[in-house]
């Protein structure tokens, strides 16, 4: 048995101005440790200033400087062979270090400890520790590091903008505030192929209901002209989004792994449980704000919403994020941050959206149940699969039972999921369409298919099947997924 | 035994066709090549004991060489005087004593131009003091700064009681191998896995050991840390270059196996027994090679040759033209057999223009004339029994076209019998006639191999379908099989091909493999 226990992250930068991040996790407490650093001019004795953030912060100063120095050396060394393609990871016996340069000359580094096996020794000697150097997949943790940056950027904007606005001090402050909390929510043990894709799960819907939702969105956007973008989700799955794909994928990640799970616990609690929020608004609808005011009636309520940054490549928009939910339906409204949101606006929104959304939610639920009944009772299928479409970022997994804030539960052996990751890395090396079918030592068949921007991975339980039967099974599945 | 074989969980369609067993085979050999074949009964398996040290695929490569007591007591332990190692024999030159390969000093060019442009793997060897020992391209002087940085990285990571393994960038890998007192580094753009690159570096390391032995290497650096090892290795550049080339083109080094020269059973028998008869007191191994193909191998009782050592020997013989002129006599360490002592090898080609090369390995450094006599006796016996001419003719067709197997869409394959440590493979067909394409195919095989033998997630089989070819690899306890089909092949065809191919190999095993492992 093993767990991935460690994870240092650093952020460093090139010649004139540098930033370095370092994230690590302590064995026992599982506190991640990060450091992010930034400096101007690599002057002797000023190395520490390069470090903008380092986790865990209690690491001794010289050690921070040494660790960050190694990252810089690796990056520089790799440049001598390939100036255009920077180093992405360093493998050592004890850990792997991942490098990411999200903005020019700002570097983030994440260190993930290799799993260990303790082998007991005779004669009361301390046990020998064996590191498993081949357990960690580069593609997965490289993607996790990139996601760290995307999440930071969603709520804080780019490093360079912050730096221009408030200098190193402001940047350091923002990094600390964000990553202190965020690192604790990273569950590196349960990261897998889905983190590489970072896709969106779409809610399957019939045309009629889809049109109803679209017309709802149009009506609201028309009545509330302040609303710039809208996104509609049901059951943690996306139905409609007005945002750019890349912005939506990180917002979706935030909603489904952080915001929604925080609010489901109270909903599931019993009627008399103290966890259950008091019925707020009026009894005509179930709508309520997940961000901003908890209770509109409360005169003390503040009308402050989280701010997010989108389209940072070009128009660089800062927006208020309003998330409003009725039953299983959730809508995100995004409004330009320069506008101040008032009690009147929130009441207007609540009155307009609440009843309609409640109705819509029960419509969708009903439709969904009808569809389920038509397709018949679900049998335990002979296979599990992950599907991802690069064009619309749609992903679908029957391997992951439920994604929660803490862990994504999977129903198959971790080694099989790692084999999926291996196949994915093989695909990533070539542009052309490919197919790979392997038989694991446990006799499970694992199939990967890449075709026309889409990827499908299947794990088959039919241990006695032969290659042809496996192929037929996958063909049937392909037809069903499309 | 045969029934036991068939009852194994059979996962691939196999029809137990009416394959007639080769006459003189004992009944214990399975008639039908089923997947459940037990090791030792697969097509091509040796009849008695194996002639090679049994190796799986990589694992044993990475194992450290043993220093604990020589397995063969007579091996001469290394002595201080290095000059004695290169004794002259007959009219022949010795190995590579400061030959032509030395001192091709390139002008001080822009360091990284050398490093960047090469498509092949670039290999560096340096000492723990950061001193350059070997570079595949460019000159050691021009690259000494780069090597200094490499050593700095290695020792920096070691300061934290950790070991640096590799650096990955898009399309580039730098792999480090620490073999105190040496550090070996490989920079690769070919997309090979870390384990494949470590294998290359291990080979380079063993190559160095084969010239020096481990104790001598250690002693040199104990006495002076900043010693310039190039002084002791000078002249060996061509051997190392040949070895690296071989690593890129020869599947045997990847598989830990050797290919034998296709030869009809009776001729091989004559050759083997003649070689067996030409023995001498201190002889440990007699190896007859045709290029990189093994024709016969006779060994001392209880002594086994390791593939790595055989590949090093055959590369040594091939890399020097001096052996072609006369009989060579050179000390050589077989690092996998025993890294602490020297053997003495008598290396000679039968005719300057022929590929037939005889290597006689002895424990006695004064044995040159004895071994020279062995060679004469072997040759005479061959000629007397009319086998020499047949052997020379066999050299004209050292391989066979894949069409002999009669499987449509099959372009190429590699079959390794695990128990005998031998493999067979047809000649490369039309799509792989350029060097570039051959290397690409080799890369594909290496990919399959590294996936099958992944350290923590090994696989039973892998089928990969691309635009340019369909590939199938399959590993059982008895054999490893790698097949390359045209892109038109179907999975059904691939599966029937496996059965058909195994039957064909069983039918031809007499010719393709060396079934008898003889001792003196």
ipTM of the complex: 0.85
Asked if the Cβ–Cβ distance from B174 to A439 is below 8 Å, we say no
Angle B508-B58-B149 (CA atoms, 0-180°, nearest 5)?
140
Q: What's the distance, CA B369 to chain centroid?
A: 29
Asked if the Cβ–Cβ distance from A81 to B115 is below 8 Å, we say yes
Residue of A nearest to B150 (CA): A77
From chain A, pick out residues whose CB is under 8 angstroms from the CB of B455.
133-134
Selected residue of A72, A93, A98 to mutate for chain B interface (largest B Cβ count, 10 A):
A93
DSSP one-letter string for A370-395: HHHHHT-SPP--SEEEEEEETTT-BE
CA distance B111 to B142: 6
Q: What's the distance, CA B414 to chain centroid?
A: 15
Burial A263-290 (b: 16+ CB within 10 A, else e): eeeeeeeeeeeeeeeeeebeeebbbbbb
Contact assessment for residue A198 and residue A147, using Cβ atoms and an 8 Å cutoff: yes
- Give the residues of chain B that fall short of pLDDT 50: 1-36, 57-62, 66-74, 76-111
Structure tokens at B164: 């640096």
Mean pLDDT of chain A: 81
pLDDT tens, position by position, A133-166: 888 899 999 999 999 999 999 999 999 999 889 8
**Backbone dihedral angles phi then psi of residue A366, each to the nearest 5 degrees:** -65, -50
* Distance, first Cα to last Cα, chain B: 31
Q: Is the dihedral of CA A151, A156, A158, A159 positive or negative?
A: negative
> Is A456 in a helix, a strand, or coil?
strand
Angle A455-A456-A461 (CA atoms, 0-180°, nearest 5)?
160
Asked if the Cβ–Cβ distance from A435 to B455 is below 8 Å, we say no
Phi-psi region of A141 (alpha: psi -120 to 50; beta: other; left: phi over 0): alpha
Tracing tokens 């007499």 back to the chain, one arrives at: B510
Q: List the one residue out of A46, A289, A40, A36 whose CA is nearest residue A156.
A: A36
| Total-model pTM | 0.83
Inter-chain CB pairs, A–B, below 8 Å = 142
Length of chain B: 520
Asked if the Cβ–Cβ distance from B171 to A430 is below 8 Å, we say no
Output the 3-class SS for B249-280.
HCHHHHHCCEEECCCCHHHHHHHHHHHHHCCC
pLDDT at A408 (0 to 100): 54
pLDDT at A402 (0 to 100): 58
From chain A, pick out residues whose CB is under 8 angstroms from the CB of B495.
466-468
Name the minimum distance, in Å, from the CA of B460 to any CA of chain A: 5
From chain B, pick out residues whose CB is under 8 angstroms from the CB of A430.
466
Asked if the Cβ–Cβ distance from A464 to B9 is below 8 Å, we say yes
* CA within 13 Å, CB half, A481: 23
Weakest-pLDDT range from A185-194, A301-310, A441-450: A185-194
Name the minimum distance, in Å, from the CA of B164 to any CA of chain A: 4
> For residue B295, what is the DSSP state?
E
From chain B, pick out residues whose CB is under 8 angstroms from the CB of A138.
168
Structure tokens at B168: 């990955």
Asked if the Cβ–Cβ distance from A134 to B456 is below 8 Å, we say yes
A317 has a pLDDT exceeding 80: yes
Name the minimum distance, in Å, from the CA of B119 to any CA of chain A: 12
Q: List the one residue out of A179, A131, A178 whose CA is nearest residue A8.
A: A179
Per DSSP, what are the bridge partners of residue B423? B259, B416
From chain B, pick out residues whose CB is under 8 angstroms from the CB of A90.
164, 166-168
Structure tokens at B115: 């490093």
* CA within 13 Å, CB half, B56: 14
Tracing tokens 């009690």 back to the chain, one arrives at: A343
| CA-to-CA dists, residue B82 to B94, B213, B238, angstroms | 14, 11, 20
Structure tokens at A448: 């990967």
Output the 3-class SS for B170-199.
CCEEEEEEEECCEEEEEEECCCCCHHHHHH
pLDDT at B40 (0 to 100): 65
Phi-psi region of A295 (alpha: psi -120 to 50; beta: other; left: phi over 0): beta
Burial B474-494 (b: 16+ CB within 10 A, else e): bbbebbbbbbbbeeebebebb
Contact assessment for residue A33 and residue A179, using Cβ atoms and an 8 Å cutoff: no
How many DSSP H helices and E strands does chain A contain?
Answer: 10, 22
Angle A136-B196-B243 (CA atoms, 0-180°, nearest 5)?
160
Residue of A nearest to B152 (CA): A73
Selected residue of B155, B156, B167 to mutate for chain A interface (largest A Cβ count, 10 A):
B167
pLDDT at A436 (0 to 100): 95
Q: List the one residue out of A179, A314, A339 whose CA is nearest residue A247.
A: A314
**A396: enclosing H helix or E strand:** strand A395-397
pLDDT tens, position by position, A244-299: 999 999 999 999 988 888 887 555 544 444 444 444 445 677 888 988 887 777 77
Radius of gyration of chain B (CA): 23
CA distance A71 to A151: 23
Contact assessment for residue B95 and residue B330, using Cβ atoms and an 8 Å cutoff: yes
Residue of B nearest to A465 (CA): B11
Output the 3-class SS for A234-246.
ECCEEEEECCCHH
pLDDT at B115 (0 to 100): 52
Residue of B nearest to A94 (CA): B162
> For residue B402, what is the DSSP state?
G
pLDDT tens, position by position, A408-430: 566 788 889 999 999 999 998 88
Contact assessment for residue B346 and residue B328, using Cβ atoms and an 8 Å cutoff: yes
**Backbone dihedral angles phi then psi of residue A409, each to the nearest 5 degrees:** -75, 135
Q: What's the distance, CA A466 to chain centroid?
A: 37
From chain B, pick out residues whose CB is under 8 angstroms from the CB of A75.
none
pLDDT at A55 (0 to 100): 82
pLDDT tens, position by position, A433-448: 999 999 999 989 999 9
Torsion of CA A256, A260, A262, A263, to 10 degrees: -170
| CA-to-CA dists, residue B165 to A134, A389, B195, B360, angstroms | 11, 35, 10, 38
From chain A, pick out residues whose CB is under 8 angstroms from the CB of B451.
422, 438
Q: List the one residue out of A168, A196, A160, A134 whose CA is nearest residue A51.
A: A168
Selected residue of A439, A446, A449, A459 to mutate for chain B interface (largest B Cβ count, 10 A):
A439
Contact assessment for residue A361 and residue A327, using Cβ atoms and an 8 Å cutoff: yes
Q: Which residue has the higher pLDDT, A478 or A391?
A: A391
Angle A274-A279-A282 (CA atoms, 0-180°, nearest 5)?
175
Tracing tokens 């001192």 back to the chain, one arrives at: B103
CA distance B507 to B265: 12
Q: Write the residue in B11, B164, B170 that is nearest to A92 by C-beta.
A: B164
From chain B, pick out residues whose CB is under 8 angstroms from the CB of A419.
457, 459
Asked if the Cβ–Cβ distance from A92 to B157 is below 8 Å, we say yes
Structure tokens at B370: 């004895």
């Amino acid at each position: 048995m093993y767990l991935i226990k460690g994870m240092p992250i650093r952020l460093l930068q090139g010649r004139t101005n540098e930033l370095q991040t370092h994230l690590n996790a302590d064995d026992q407490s599982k506190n991640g440790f990060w450091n992010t650093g930034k400096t101007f001019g690599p002057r002797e004795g000023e190395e520490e200033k390069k470090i903008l953030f380092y986790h865990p912060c209690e690491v001794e100063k010289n050690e921070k400087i040494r660790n960050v120095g190694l990252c810089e050396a690796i990056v520089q060394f790799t440049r001598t062979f390939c100036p255009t393609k920077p180093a992405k990871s360093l493998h050592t016996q004890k850990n792997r270090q991942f490098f990411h340069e999200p903005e020019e000359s700002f570097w983030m580094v994440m260190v993930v400890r290799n799993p260990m096996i303790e082998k007991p020794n005779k004669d009361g000697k301390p046990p020998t520790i064996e590191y498993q150097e081949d357990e960690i997949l580069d593609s997965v943790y490289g993607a996790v590091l990139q996601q760290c940056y995307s999440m930071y950027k969603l709520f804080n904007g780019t490093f360079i903008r912050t730096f221009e606005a408030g200098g190193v001090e402001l940047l350091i402050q923002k990094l600390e505030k964000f990553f202190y909390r965020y690192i604790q929510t990273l569950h590196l043990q349960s990261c897998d192929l889905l983190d590489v894709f970072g896709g969106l799960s779409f809610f399957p819907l019939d045309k009629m209901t889809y049109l109803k939702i679209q017309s709802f969105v149009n009506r609201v956007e028309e009545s509330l002209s302040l609303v710039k973008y809208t996104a509609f989700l049901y059951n943690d799955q996306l139905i409609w989004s007005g945002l750019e794909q890349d912005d939506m994928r990180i917002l979706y990640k935030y909603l489904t792994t952080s915001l929604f799970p925080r609010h489901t616990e109270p909903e599931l609690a019993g009627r008399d449980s103290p966890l259950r929020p008091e019925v707020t608004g009026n009894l005509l609808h179930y709508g309520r704000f997940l961000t901003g005011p908890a209770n509109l009636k409360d005169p003390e309520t503040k009308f402050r919403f989280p701010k997010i940054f989108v389209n940072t490549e070009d128009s660089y928009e800062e927006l208020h994020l309003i998330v409003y939910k009725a039953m299983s339906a959730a809508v995100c409204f995004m409004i330009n941050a320069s506008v101040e949101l008032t009690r009147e606006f929130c009441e207007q929104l609540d009155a307009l959206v609440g009843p309609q959304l409640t109705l819509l939610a029960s419509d969708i639920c009903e439709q969904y149940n009808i569809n389920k009944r038509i397709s018949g009772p679900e049998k335990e299928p002979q296979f599990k699969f992950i599907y991802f479409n690069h064009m619309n970022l749609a992903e679908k997994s029957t391997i992951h039972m439920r994604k929660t804030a803490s862990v994504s539960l999977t129903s198959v052996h971790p080694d099989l999921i790692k084999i999926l990751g291996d196949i994915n890395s093989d695909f990533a090396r070539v542009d052309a369409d490919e197919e790979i079918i392997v038989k694991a030592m446990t006799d499970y068949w694992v199939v990967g298919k890449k075709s026309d921007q889409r990827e499908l991975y299947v794990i088959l339980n039919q241990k006695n099947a032969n290659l042809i039967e496996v192929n037929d099974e996958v063909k049937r599945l392909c037809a069903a997924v499309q | 035994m045969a029934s036991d074989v068939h009852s194994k969980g059979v996962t691939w369609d196999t029809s137990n066709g009416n394959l007639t067993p080769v006459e003189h085979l004992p009944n214990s050999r399975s008639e039908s090549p089923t997947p459940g074949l037990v090791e030792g009964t697969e097509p091509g398996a040796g009849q008695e004991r194996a002639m090679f040290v049994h190796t799986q695929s990589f694992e044993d490569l990475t194992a450290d060489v043993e220093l604990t007591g020589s397995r063969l007591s007579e091996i001469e332990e290394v002595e201080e005087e290095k000059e004695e190692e290169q004794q002259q024999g007959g009219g022949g030159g010795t190995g590579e004593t400061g030959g032509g390969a030395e001192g091709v000093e390139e002008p001080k060019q822009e360091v990284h131009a050398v490093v960047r442009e090469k498509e092949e793997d670039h290999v560096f060897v340096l000492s723990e003091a950061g001193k350059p020992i070997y570079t595949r391209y460019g000159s050691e002087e021009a690259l000494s700064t780069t090597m200094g940085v490499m050593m700095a990285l290695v020792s920096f990571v070691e300061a934290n009681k950790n070991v640096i393994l590799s650096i990955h960038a898009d399309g580039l890998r730098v792999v480090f191998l620490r073999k105190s007192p040496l550090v070996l580094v490989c920079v690769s753009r070919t997309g090979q896995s870390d384990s494949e690159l470590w294998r290359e570096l291990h080979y380079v390391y063993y190559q160095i050991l084969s010239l020096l032995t481990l104790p001598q290497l250690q002693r040199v650096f104990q006495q002076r840390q900043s010693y310039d090892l190039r002084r002791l290795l000078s002249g060996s550049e061509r051997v190392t270059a040949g070895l690296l080339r071989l690593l890129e083109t020869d599947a045997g080094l990847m598989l830990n196996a050797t290919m034998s020269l296709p030869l009809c059973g009776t001729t091989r028998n004559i050759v083997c027994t003649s070689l067996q008869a030409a023995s001498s007191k201190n002889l440990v191994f007699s190896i007859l090679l045709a290029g990189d193909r093994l024709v016969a191998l006779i060994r001392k009782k209880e002594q086994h040759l390791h593939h790595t050592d055989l590949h090093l020997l055959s590369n040594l013989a091939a890399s020097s033209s001096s052996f072609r002129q006369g009989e060579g006599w050179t000390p050589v360490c077989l690092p996998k057999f025993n890294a602490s002592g020297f053997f003495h090898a008598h290396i000679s080609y039968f005719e300057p223009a022929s590929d037939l090369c005889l290597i006689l390995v002895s424990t006695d450094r004064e044995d040159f004339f004895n071994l020279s006599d062995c060679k004469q006796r072997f040759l005479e016996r061959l000629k007397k029994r009319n086998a020499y001419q047949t052997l020379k003719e066999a050299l004209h067709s050292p391989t066979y076209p894949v069409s002999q197997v009669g499987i449509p869409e099959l372009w190429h394959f590699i079959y390794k019998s695990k128990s005998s440590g031998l493999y067979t493979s047809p000649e490369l067909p039309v799509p792989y006639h350029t060097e570039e394409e051959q290397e690409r195919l080799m890369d594909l095989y290496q990919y399959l191999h590294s996936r099958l033998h992944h350290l923590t997630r090994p696989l039973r089989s892998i089928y990969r379908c691309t635009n340019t070819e369909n590939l199938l690899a399959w590993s059982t306890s008895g054999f490893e099989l790698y097949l390359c089909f045209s892109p038109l092949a179907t999975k059904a065809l691939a599966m029937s091909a496996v059965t058909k191919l195994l039957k064909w190999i069983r039918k031809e095993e007499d010719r393709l493999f060396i079934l008898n492992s003889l001792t003196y």
